[in-house]
């Protein structure tokens, strides 16, 4: 079993990579620039294409689209949220997810041909749910809503190809992004996410779940 994780140099991504390695999986950890990791900048289409070429012919049984940014936490409605911030978030949190999936579809199909059950896990957020509209962080919320929508539609199209897709909320996690006041530790989130992703099958493709298995509203 080979698992590829984007944004695996810190936080949740690093925790997932470490946990699966300890469980005996072959892990391809990617990051923009980190010694010992596959180079991948999900905001750069050429970087994504280059990764696909380097991995040509290598089966990938699980693709975890974890890389993401949250840069608008302190923006003000009256004079904040500049256009370039919208562009940057969507490059990473949405376009980067789609292009990574697209580039690695041949690898996922190879895993299926080799008798594995390939799957894609998209790390979104419950802040992208229509049921969690409590205001603020407009760009992050919109990008995570788009990632959720993307995952749901990929699930529809990839079901007939034998590839399951799950969308996951990692919790409010004590990482650089989540801050020290967060409710969930990295270890708790990672352990829960690994269970959800490992258990993902075509029977529940398109699911939107929290790290602890709770079904979340779209």
What pLDDT does 124 receive? 97
pTM of the model: 0.95
**Other residues' Cβ atoms within 10 Å of the Cβ of residue 157:** 10
Helix (H) or strand (E) holding 63: strand 62-65
What pLDDT does 43 receive? 98
Rounded distance, CA 49 to CA 47, Å? 5
> Is residue 109 one of the residues assigned to a domain?
yes
> Is residue 217 one of the residues assigned to a domain?
no
What pLDDT does 181 receive? 72
Q: What is the pLDDT of residues 40-70, one digit of tens each?
A: 999 999 999 999 999 999 999 999 999 999 9
Binning pLDDT at 50, 70 and 90, where does residue 178 land?
A: low
> Residue 57 burial by CB count (10 A; 0-12/13-18/19+): exposed, middle or buried?
exposed
CATH of the domain at 188: 3.40.50.720
The strand order across the sheet containing 207-210 reads 38-39, 26-31, 2-5, 62-65, 119-123, 164-169, 207-210
Report the largest interatomic distance among the alpha carbons of the chain, rounded to a whole angstrom.
55
Rounded distance, CA 218 to CA 216, Å? 6
Binning pLDDT at 50, 70 and 90, where does residue 210 land?
A: very high
Number of domains in the chain: 1
pLDDT at 174 over 80: no
> Is residue 218 one of the residues assigned to a domain?
no
Contact 160, 115 (CB under 8 A): no
Contact 63, 28 (CB under 8 A): no
Helices (H), ranges, the chain: 11-22, 45-54, 83-90, 96-113, 138-158, 186-199
Domain that holds residue 53: 2-210
| Residue for token pair 């944004």 | 7
What φ, ψ does residue 58 adopt, rounded to 5°? -105, 120
**DSSP states of 89-150:** HHIIIIIHHHHHHHHHHHHHHHHHHTT---EEEEE--GGGSGGG--SS-HHHHHHHHHHHHH
Both structure tokens of 105: 């579809």
> Is residue 216 one of the residues assigned to a domain?
no
Q: Which residues pair with 119 in a beta bridge?
A: 62, 164
Cα 17 versus chain centre, distance = 13
> Is residue 215 one of the residues assigned to a domain?
no
What pLDDT does 177 receive? 64
What pLDDT does 172 receive? 83
pLDDT at 10 over 80: yes
pLDDT at 125 over 80: yes
Q: What is the pLDDT of residues 134-155, one digit of tens each?
A: 899 999 999 999 999 999 999 9
């Amino acid at each position: 079993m080979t698992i590829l994780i984007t944004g695996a140099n810190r936080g949740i991504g690093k925790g997932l990579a470490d946990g699966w390695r300890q469980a005996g999986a072959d892990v391809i950890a990617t990051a923009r620039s980190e010694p010992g990791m596959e180079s991948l900048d999900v905001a750069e289409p050429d970087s994504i294409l280059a990764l696909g070429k380097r991995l040509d012919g290598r089966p990938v049984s699980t693709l975890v689209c974890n890389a993401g940014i949250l840069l608008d936490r302190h923006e003000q409605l009256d004079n904040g949220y500049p256009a370039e911030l919208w562009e940057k978030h969507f490059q990473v949190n949405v376009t980067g997810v789609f292009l990574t999936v697209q580039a690695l579809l041949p690898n996922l199909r190879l895993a299926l041909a080799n008798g594995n059950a390939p799957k894609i896990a998209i790390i979104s957020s419950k802040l992208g749910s229509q049921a969690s509209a409590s205001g603020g962080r407009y760009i992050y919320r919109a990008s995570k809503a788009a990632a959720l929508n993307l995952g749901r539609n990929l699930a529809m199209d990839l079901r007939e190809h034998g590839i399951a897709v799950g969308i996951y909320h990692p919790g409010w996690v004590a990482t650089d992004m989540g801050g020290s006041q967060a409710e969930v530790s990295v270890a708790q989130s990672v352990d829960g996410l690994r269970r959800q992703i490992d258990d993902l099958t075509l029977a529940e493709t398109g699911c939107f779940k929290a790290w602890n298995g709770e079904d979340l509203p779209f």
